[in-house]
Chain A
Amino acid sequence: MNYIFLVDCNSFYASCEMVFRPDLAGKPVVVLSNNDGFIIAANSQAKSLGYKTIEKPYFMLEQQLLKDKVEIFSANFELYGAISRRVMRLLSEISNNIEVYSIDEAFLEVSFNENQLLDIAFYLRKRILDEIGVPVSIGISMTKTLAKAAMEIAKKRREGVFYLKPDQHDVLSLIPVNDVWGVGQKYGEKLIKKGIKTALDLSRLQEQWAREHMTVVGLRCVQELNGIPCIKFDSVPQTRKTIQRSASFGHLVFTLSDLKKAISMHCERAGEKLREEKLLSLGILVYIHTNPHLEEPQYSRSAATNFAIPTADTTTLIKYAHKLLEEVYLPRFRYLKTGVLLFDLIQEDMAPGNLFRQPYIDSKEQKLMVSLDEINTEFGQGTLSFASSGVGENPNRMRQSKRSPRYLTRWNEIPEVKAK
């Protein structure tokens, strides 16, 4: 019999920070987003003090965090990525059929006897904790949607594991309908209005009705809740569809030149990512917005355009991004955030040709980008950067004042052990 395991790392970023810091055991820990904008992860101790993710901007919480003696970290994605790869590698020893769903979550398809399921889950959990040092929760069932529901229960249990049988009505009746995977905001409100409040109610719907009112998405939900697998396993990661780089400012900005500097920097990072993944971009979107948490005039706008030829050249990205920014920018607002999104990405080797323009591949721009990336890889991100993103003491450079060492990926930052 085939079963689905959903493995999810508990407060992943905070847990990663604790792996190499034995002094933090039992203490509250939070991790801040890029540029120290918001809390993006809180361990259970921090949660019990009332800290939630993405609620209030960090600068509003700073004093309270210090008073509560909460350990604060700037995001260290290089470390989280390295630990995530270890977790996923370990999981792929258990099953060939693994779908990495996010940095801290994966679905596994396994075929075991029902009476072995819990033992295997506990074994997996112990191994990940012993070898990698990160606690995980595991939800088990027959379909992905049910495994997601099982996870909701597993997270609330001390042992962190829960096996949900498709006919376990007592459990399904406890799960609110908007928490069912795939339902979301869009259908959630609609369903509640019709008196369908829990996962159990949803599972009892006529398939015909679900299809009519919620399209094929709803039909799949109903079938999956009844133990019929119909969401395919995506074991081969799809080619990336977009690349986004954005950050909240540490302080609110209102001049176009400050925004331009920030957007240049995002273009640099987005360009690096494009080239790293051997992709070219056909379209670019730029957005800006004010701080919705403040009671002051609000504004948000975005604009998009296409490049003349598919490109991965940072100079081109910056040129277009600045034009778009000029289009959307209005003075007299105080901006919290700006970002750039590259879309319509294609593989380098699939690049369409253009009779009248030199393609990006093999152009002098590409050669320049290759050298730029080599230098920045060798000497650290931002060693060589574009003048338009500001040189030297730029307040818009990523604020990562409390970033931990990149313990697993940099020779000069590996953990220290005392011989004393």
Chain B
Amino acid sequence: MEICNIYRIDYSSEITLELIYNRIQAGFPSPAEDFEVEKINLTDLMVKHPNATYLMRVKGNSMEPEIHSGDIVVVDRLIEPRNGTIIITSLDGEFVLKRLKICKLCVYLVADNPNYSPIELKKGQELRVWGVVIGIARVYQ
């Protein structure tokens, strides 16, 4: 496969001209120029470990009033679960949202909504924590 007659156009002079033109047009330098780099965004606020962070949509009301159905939870898989943290675990092959309650003698998976009863984990029973909820996002409209 041969290709004949390939010429390359040199654009470099045009580009320089354009840059100078822009600079002339700019007139006075903006006094805010040096401050424009700092930006804030929600991701920086909510995500501590970008590589280990996942978003999930909540379905169900067992974590009311804290978390509503339809909310998006920000899940971090690096953070160690502690007493009182909300975790994602799997029960019967499904991802489930629960609050972890660690007592001296046993561990409970509890719902914030009193209509749901807590699950008690017996000694020797394995608990697989998929991730820890570190925040929620809720959009009204």
Interface SS majority for chain A: mixed
* Known contacts A131-B51, A132-B52, A417 near B9 by CB under 8 Å: no
CB distance from B129 to the nearest CB of A (A): 10
Contacts of B78 in A (CB 8 A): 130-131
| A-binding segment of B19-27, B29-37, B55-63 | B55-63
Q: Are B96 and A417 in contact (CB under 8 A)?
A: yes
Q: List 29 A-B contacts (CB under 8 A).
A: A22-B95, A23-B90, A89-B50, A90-B51, A130-B52, A130-B77, A130-B78, A131-B49, A344-B1, A349-B11, A352-B7, A352-B8, A353-B8, A354-B7, A414-B56, A414-B57, A415-B54, A415-B56, A415-B95, A416-B58, A417-B88, A417-B97, A418-B60, A418-B97, A419-B58, A419-B61, A419-B63, A419-B67, A419-B96
The one of B51, B93, B94 in contact with A132, judged by C-beta atoms closer than 8 angstroms, is B51
Contacts of B8 in A (CB 8 A): 350, 352-353
Q: Are A415 and B57 in contact (CB under 8 A)?
A: yes
B residues in contact (CB < 8 Å) with A:
1, 3, 6-9, 11, 49-52, 54-63, 67, 69, 72-73, 77-78, 88, 90, 92-97, 111, 116, 130
Given A306-B1, A350-B8, A417-B96, output 20 extra A-B contacts at Cβ < 8 Å. Answer: A89-B50, A90-B51, A130-B78, A131-B49, A131-B52, A283-B1, A283-B3, A306-B3, A343-B1, A344-B1, A353-B7, A353-B9, A414-B56, A417-B58, A417-B73, A418-B60, A418-B95, A419-B58, A419-B69, A420-B116
Q: Are A416 and B1 in contact (CB under 8 A)?
A: no
Is A86 engaged at the interface, CB distance under 8 Å to the other chain? yes
Q: Are B51 and A304 in contact (CB under 8 A)?
A: no
Bound-complex Cα distance A420 to B62 (A) = 5
Which interface residue of B3, B58, B63 has the most chain A CB atoms within 10 A?
A: B3
Is A282 engaged at the interface, CB distance under 8 Å to the other chain? yes
A residues in contact (CB < 8 Å) with B:
20-24, 86, 89-90, 130-133, 282-283, 304, 306, 343-344, 349-350, 352-354, 408, 414-420
CB distance from B20 to the nearest CB of A (A): 20
CB distance from A125 to the nearest CB of B (A): 15
Bound-complex Cα distance A282 to B6 (A) = 10
Bound-complex Cα distance A7 to B69 (A) = 40
Contacts of B61 in A (CB 8 A): 419
Bound-complex Cα distance A417 to B130 (A) = 11
CB distance from A391 to the nearest CB of B (A): 33
Q: Are A304 and B95 in contact (CB under 8 A)?
A: no
Q: Are A419 and B7 in contact (CB under 8 A)?
A: no
The 8 closest A-B pairs by CB, nearest first: A23-B93, A22-B90, A419-B60, A131-B52, A353-B9, A419-B62, A417-B95, A352-B6
Contacts of A352 in B (CB 8 A): 6-9
Contacts of B95 in A (CB 8 A): 20, 22, 415-418
Bound-complex Cα distance A304 to B3 (A) = 12
Bound-complex Cα distance A354 to B3 (A) = 13
Bound-complex Cα distance A283 to B59 (A) = 51
Which residue of chain A has the shortest Cβ distance to B129 in the bound complex? A130
* Known contacts A22-B93, A352-B8, A419 near B59 by CB under 8 Å: yes
Bound-complex Cα distance A130 to B7 (A) = 53
Q: Are B94 and A23 in contact (CB under 8 A)?
A: yes
Contacts of A23 in B (CB 8 A): 90, 92-94
Contacts of A132 in B (CB 8 A): 51-52, 77
* Known contacts A130-B77, A352-B6, A353-B8, A22 near B94 by CB under 8 Å: yes
Which interface residue of B51, B63, B67 has the most chain A CB atoms within 10 A?
A: B51
Q: Are A417 and B59 in contact (CB under 8 A)?
A: yes
The one of B1, B57, B93 in contact with A417, judged by C-beta atoms closer than 8 angstroms, is B57
* Known contacts A414-B56, A418-B96, A86 near B1 by CB under 8 Å: no
CB distance from A407 to the nearest CB of B (A): 8
CB distance from A409 to the nearest CB of B (A): 11
